[in-house]
Amino acid sequence: MQLSDFLNYHKITLEDVAALAKSSLHLTADDTLFVCGSVVEGFGNEKSDLDLLLISAREDLPLTSRDATLLMMGHCAIDLRVIRRAAAETLLKRFAGWVDEPRQPRNARAFTHDERLFLHRLRTGEALAGTEDFRQLQNKVPLTDLLRHRLDCAQYMASRIQVDLAGLRSAGDQYSMMFAAQELLGHTVDALLAGHNYSNPHLKWRVRQLSELSPDWESDLPGRRTGMSARDLYWSLHAAPPSASPGLILDHALRIVAFSRRVFPWAEYRLLSPSSTPLFSYDRDETGTGLLLPHLDLDVAVRYRAGKFELLRLHGDGVIFTLSPEEYSLSCLFDGQTASNKEDEELLQEILALVRHGDLEARPFMDEQSLRTILHRASTN
């Protein structure tokens, strides 16, 4: 539901909302009030609250709690929250400092979820009072920086989970592996959405945002296109295996990790080098008839740094291989499901040689029973 539809449904206008807020809180010329949230972004429905944020330095605001009050206009609930001006200015200064730092994804985690949500709402809100001040504050949060922040938060968490997945496999804990893989999928979707200009960090809107992506959302996403909508692919990848079989869960995790290798470097490339030539993706029918390309391992990643792609194992001191954009796109075909084709056979063989040289192929799940079997065979030989 769009904001205009929401207002029409409740038979109110933004001018009505602003007048109610001004009379209830006795706003002054130094206060800045704006409307934001799910209704403004088109994700709400007729039962949603209308979210208002007030930036004020005053201490005499008549609130039902220290920083919030609930206003009613007919059947429309208006959730008004207050951000102290000093706190807002401090946060904006910290964000500007983060933007100017050399890029380290872990640094994005210095901001809490509430701080990220405020920055997003400031970027996407609509002023109701203090319009000029609102515009000045809004200009301190460029969309490109918000998108990179969402990407960096997701990338930092995803890298940690990939390393955890390899450890859980070694420990024979397929149950934890499944839930860790699904958490990795969530962060991967965040990166995908950042690459498509969605900065809202609220987890509950992931699916709604995916639903808005165009049918050709995979057009420049490297690897083999699925032909599915982004929402349906997310559903498919998230679905748990039919049993807790270690092999099935390992395959579930490998599929998600393979998808994450398609997404994260693509999003970095798109946001950090927006004028570069789009990456190449392969039609879903171009499966080939040659060698079945293996899965890369759970903790193998590709990252985009200083204008180049790097293939590496996240844990340990292994070799880092530099890839061209074409080689990166081809490396995304290493998903355990795609076969090579004659056109790319030579280059694929070169990438396969790198994978084997760096010991980057997926390793089997080693549960307790498998270990006993291996040890028994070794003792009888």
Q: How far apart are CA 351 and CA 328, in angstroms?
A: 9
Q: Domain count of the chain? A: 2
User: Does residue 195 share a domain with residue 117?
Assistant: no
Distance CA 63, CA 54 (A): 12
Q: Can you tell me the distance from the alpha carbon of 205 to that of 208, in angstroms, rounded to the nearest whole number?
A: 5
At 30-61, the pLDDT tens digits run 999 999 999 999 999 999 999 999 999 998 88
Residue 310 forms part of a structural domain: yes
Q: Answer yes or no: is pLDDT of 179 > 90.
A: yes
The domain in which residue 119 lies consists of: 3-141
Q: At 344, is the pLDDT very low, low, confident or very high (cuts 50, 70, 90)? A: confident
Residue 167 CB partners (closer than 8 Å, separation 6+): none
Model confidence, pTM: 0.93
Mean pLDDT of the chain: 93
Which 3 state secondary structure label does DSSP give 53?
Answer: strand
What are the two backbone dihedrals, phi and then psi, of residue 314, each rounded to the nearest 5 degrees?
-70, -30
Q: How far apart are CA 88 and CA 94, in angstroms?
A: 10
Stretch (H or E) spanning 233: helix 230-238
Would 380 be classed as within a structural domain? no
Residue 253 sits in the same domain as residue 356 = yes
| 358 within domain boundaries | yes
Report which of 182, 227, 231 is spatially closest to residue 210, judged by C-alpha positions: 231
pLDDT tens per residue, range 133-160: 999 999 999 999 999 999 999 999 999 9
* pLDDT of the residue at 63: 79
Tokens of 45: 């429905």
- Judge whether 369 lies within some domain: no
Q: Please state the rounded mean pLDDT for residues 172-184.
A: 97
d(CA 320, CA 360): 11
Q: For residue 354, with 0-12 CB atoms within 10 Å meaning exposed, 13-18 middle and 19 or more buried, which class applies?
A: middle
Q: Point out the domain boundary residue: 103, 125, 141.
A: 141
Mean pLDDT (whole number) for 184-202: 98
Answer whether residue 379 is part of any domain: no
Are 110 and 173 within one domain? no
Domain match, 174 and 212 both: yes
Q: Exposed, middle or buried by CB within 10 Å (0-12, 13-18, 19+), for 280?
A: middle
CATH code of the domain containing 78: 3.30.460.10
Q: Is residue 26 part of a domain?
A: yes
337-357: average pLDDT = 88
Residue 378 within any structural domain of the chain: no
Q: How many CB atoms lie within 10 A of CB 59?
A: 6
pLDDT at residue 95 greater than cutoff 80:
yes
Q: What is the DSSP string of 75-106?
A: TEEEEEEEEEHHHHHHHHHHHHHHHHSPP-GG
Residue 315 scores a pLDDT above 90: no
Task: Please enumerate, as own/partner, the contacts of 228-234 that have beta carbons within 8 Å and a separation of 24 or more.
Answer: 230/192, 231/207, 233/259, 234/185, 234/189, 234/206, 234/207, 234/210
Residues 97 and 171 both lie in one domain: no
Q: What is the pLDDT of residues 233-258, one digit of tens each?
A: 999 999 999 999 999 999 999 999 99
Q: What is the pLDDT of residue 374?
A: 46
- Contact criterion met (CB below 8 Å) for 54 and 31: yes
**41 and 97 both lie in a single domain:** yes
Looking at the fold, whether 271 and 312 belong to one and the same domain comes out as: yes
Residue 135 and residue 156 in one domain: no
- What per-residue string of b and e applies to 21-46 under the rule 16 or more CB within 10 Å gives b? beeebebeeebbbbbbbbbbbebbee
Reported in sequence order, the residue ranges of 116-189 that DSSP labels E, i.e. its strands, are 126-129
Tell me what pLDDT residue 288 has. Answer: 60
- The C-alpha atoms of residue 104 and residue 101 are separated, in whole angstroms, by 8
Q: Is the pLDDT of residue 72 over 50?
A: yes
Same domain membership, residue 182 and residue 106: no
pLDDT at residue 376 in the model? 54
Confirm whether 126 is domain-assigned. Answer: yes
Whole-angstrom distance, CA of residue 111 vs CA of residue 109: 5
> Are 81 and 200 part of one and the same domain?
no
DSSP 280-293: PEE-TT---SSPBP
Q: Last residue of a domain, which of 121, 141, 161?
A: 141
Same domain (yes/no): 278, 358: yes
Boundary of a domain, candidates 117, 141, 165: 141
CA 6 from centroid of its chain's CA atoms: 28
Q: Is 99 exposed, middle or buried (0-12, 13-18, 19+ CB in 10 A)?
A: middle
Residues 113 and 182 in one domain: no
Measured N-to-C along each axis, helices 143-171 and 174-195 cross at an angle, to the nearest 10 degrees, of 160
Sign of CA dihedral 20, 25, 26, 32: negative
Residue 230 has what pLDDT?
98
